[in-house]
Structure 1
């Protein structure tokens, strides 16, 4: 057997010395992360620089392998080795020189200049290789805005500027910089969950989710499309990455969909849209969810808990799109090779279900997410011994390497984006943009949502999901949270909840507005005018008095979750929709056509944030969430049918308009009575459509 055949999983075809070095380095790096997050003790700054240096080495040397390229030339290899050595040099510099640097009052010597400049350049080059040029350009613009061209601007955007030395210090050493809070999230949380996902994959869990999807959907009309939705949902709980979902499940589901009669670009679009949901489905969500926990100071467990039902609503939206397409084109396919459901669960379910149960138990027991992920990873190994894919030493090493290689692009991106975060924090640019959004929206929440959605659409065409979320959240989350609070306070005033402090403030700030007697509600327009007249520095007191305790925290959570959901359209927005490119390559289809299909199927990425903004979809208990979802599901079906012009049978233009209005009302309710009227209208049109579909079937027969 040759060296290629003997290479471990993830390295087959890469039997060179570089590939073997990468394997050893990846195994050691993953093992170090597990040790650090379970038993180890190390300063956060030093852990962050080691995390960056290790993944920079892997990113630099593995880049051609990840792209499927052949052997590189000596010059290219020398450059990659130099980048890796410089990253290691940055780590050695910080570990050995940090104390001396502060001892001389942060005075820069020549080698301080070398390494504090080298680290950002290395990060930007590796980000450019994996995600494109946009993130590096934004980071460079942010750094140069701090150092010189901010002083050229006028008005609120003017920044007098800092010296390059101070800007480099803040980028390298501060909590807002490269090795600060975002890097901490990267090595403390994201890396652990990605390693956990890698162990699940090697243990055979990816085969289980595919077989489970095929067993559940084998007799449904358009069944292979539903297999993609189900398998990608479950696979997303393993990886939290749309691209990883596409490459793992798409290799089976896309050929299956094509065999059933789906066009190649539609099959690729279904897989892309379904895989996008992996970033929003708990318990392992995308990297942005961990960053959200840091930004909002809300525990990750709470974020994951309130995300479950909204994520299921999203997958329902994708499934509806698949069903409508299958009905419209009469795609009927029975997967005779699909395994029986109970046999699939019995034979392959334990290595998937037990580790997740351990993970959830430890999280609910109060353990840190990183420790819970480490314990769940160990559980994967133990449980695999009673399955048909036991993990011995070789497979454990394969899983460690796979985790490191999968994590490398994300780690470098999260560290590098600290350059931009540092610039925004230093200049106060986030507050400026929040004020601008409030001004442009005129305090109107609906207009603000449209502006942020448009910004997300533009950023999503050029940035990966995590970068898009970080940029949008940094610039617009405070304004959106304030407007959600404003909208809630307005609703309280309309309902008659006008506290005494509000009446006292109104006498000073808006004496021309006559307030109703206690217990009597205001007109919506008057309530909006009153809130607009209250000085900004007094609004927090008004919100505290008018709304329930914790309203500010819930508004902040809603704002970040809305932005997080909107940023997911980076996966499905051409021209830079990387998962669609991966799916199109498998389907042998056009990436642009696949991306547009995925964008159309993932419409719930825009519908669900509306529900978060106008309903207690995140703040209510489980029964409130279920109640909201119960109205939203027919609403999403109606909106999808109106968009496609087809439900169970073709819709005429009047039915499309009625369906669209009823769907919108159910997603953004205008009151309980209006909701029920919309349900009745939906049921009538749906019933007429079902009758028409049966008549068509009888005529065809």
Structure 2
């Protein structure tokens, strides 16, 4: 979204507003104690304490931190803060109660498993189609639910399907490369004794998929546990939930209920619904990042892998904005827009070939420089 803001600022010739901003060192010198409760909260969570315990200790640390500042909290201030916190939490508590009813109904009636099976059946085992279906479900839920509720409902319904497909994709890669552990091969032997010969050597992806389809659904969970280490499975589960969490953010900007966009409209004094539709349009880049979560090692990969994906992903998102808006540092004609879109596909699509990423990055950087040099000439003729 930041790229859209920059492009729109360039296109409308917006200028920076001079503000009387205090230096960072001066601000930290006076208010460094405000960071202590946050440090306490994060530290307690890292050390394995429950969220409830960590939050309670952090609340106490807020009071203690104020005692080393010029504005010490007294008894009345503490009671006022507790009262204000209770009032602010009332809305969230009602939301959690309502969401809890939905989650319990889903769990008790088996709707979650049914929905996961429906998504898997409609997608035909395709992870990409599954992502599209989950995105559509997120879009519908976002029209009537806030972010937290949309995430909880969607995670309850679709996380098992996403996790299963992503884990099976990792398993197929092990089979194709001939790296399947011996304990996992034993499960295939129970299904087809002749499969041990095939598993002893690399095979094509189609053969691996056909071999995996012979395994009954009841054995697939055990097969995944035997073939993939626990840390990798944990990262796959985290990636599945991150996909859902990322897509659920769409509820912030999806009309008719787009609380973030309406709040921005109130500040900017613009028409709320028009602001909502504009926010919905410029937030479409959020549908791209889940592809990186699903098809790359962006979550759980090595540091080098994560940094590489991050750099090329940033360039790809900027190229995507050029395609959508027809503008980078200057206006782009139809040919340059298509070229920007091709760069976005080359940078964002998880093909696993670094040379293609480098070529796409070089082309986009050249396009960016060209649009920057073209901008003064366009402005002069305007």
Normalised by the length of structure 1, the TM-score is 0.50
* Alignment check: 8 A CA contact 1:473 1:563 kept: yes
Within-5 A mapping of 1:509-588? 509=191, 516=198, 518-520=200-202, 522-588=203-269
Partner Cα separation in structure 2 for residue 367 and residue 499 of structure 1: 35
Structure 1: unaligned runs, 5 residues or longer:
1-317
**In terms of mean alpha carbon deviation, does 617-626 or 641-650 score higher?**
617-626
2:97 matches 1:415: yes
Match of 2:164 among 470, 482, 486: 482
Match of 2:86 among 404, 408, 412: 404
Cα displacement (A) at 1:430: 1.2
2:295 matches 1:614: yes
Alpha-carbon deviations, 1:666-687, whole Å to 9, x = none? Answer: 33421133xx322332323322
Alpha-carbon deviations, 1:346-377, whole Å to 9, x = none? Answer: 233x1332222222233333333322222322
Aligned residues: 380
* Alignment check: 8 A CA contact 2:312 2:361 kept: no
Instruction: Mark the CA change 1:655 to 1:552 in structure 2 (over 3 Å): closer, same or farther.
Output: same
Instruction: Mark the CA change 1:566 to 1:526 in structure 2 (over 3 Å): closer, same or farther.
Output: same
Cα displacement (A) at 1:624: 4.2
* Alignment check: 8 A CA contact 1:460 1:569 kept: yes
2:365 matches 1:686: yes
1:300 aligned residue? none
Structure 2: unaligned runs, 5 residues or longer:
none
Partner Cα separation in structure 2 for residue 335 and residue 417 of structure 1: 45
1:270 aligned residue? none
Match of 1:625 among 267, 292, 306: 306
SS of the aligned residue for 1:616 comes to coil
Instruction: Mark the CA change 1:463 to 1:695 in structure 2 (over 3 Å): closer, same or farther.
Output: closer
Instruction: Mark the CA change 1:641 to 1:556 in structure 2 (over 3 Å): closer, same or farther.
Output: same
Instruction: Mark the CA change 1:360 to 1:498 in structure 2 (over 3 Å): closer, same or farther.
Output: closer
Alpha-carbon deviations, 1:210-263, whole Å to 9, x = none? Answer: xxxxxxxxxxxxxxxxxxxxxxxxxxxxxxxxxxxxxxxxxxxxxxxxxxxxxx
Alpha-carbon deviations, 1:153-207, whole Å to 9, x = none? Answer: xxxxxxxxxxxxxxxxxxxxxxxxxxxxxxxxxxxxxxxxxxxxxxxxxxxxxxx
2:30 matches 1:354: no
Alpha-carbon deviations, 1:410-448, whole Å to 9, x = none? Answer: 111212222222222222121111111111111111111
Match of 1:344 among 27, 40, 45: 27
Partner Cα separation in structure 2 for residue 362 and residue 423 of structure 1: 33
**In terms of mean alpha carbon deviation, does 540-549 or 642-651 score higher?**
540-549
Partner Cα separation in structure 1 for residue 51 and residue 117 of structure 2: 35
Cα displacement (A) at 1:459: 0.9
* Alignment check: 8 A CA contact 2:181 2:226 kept: yes
2:127 aligned residue? 445
Alpha-carbon deviations, 1:590-643, whole Å to 9, x = none? Answer: 122211222233334322222111123332355543333222211222222222
Greater relative contact order (CA < 8 Å, ≥ 6 in sequence): 1
1:641 aligned residue? 322
Partner Cα separation in structure 1 for residue 256 and residue 195 of structure 2: 51
Within-5 A mapping of 1:167-246? none
2:140 matches 1:458: yes
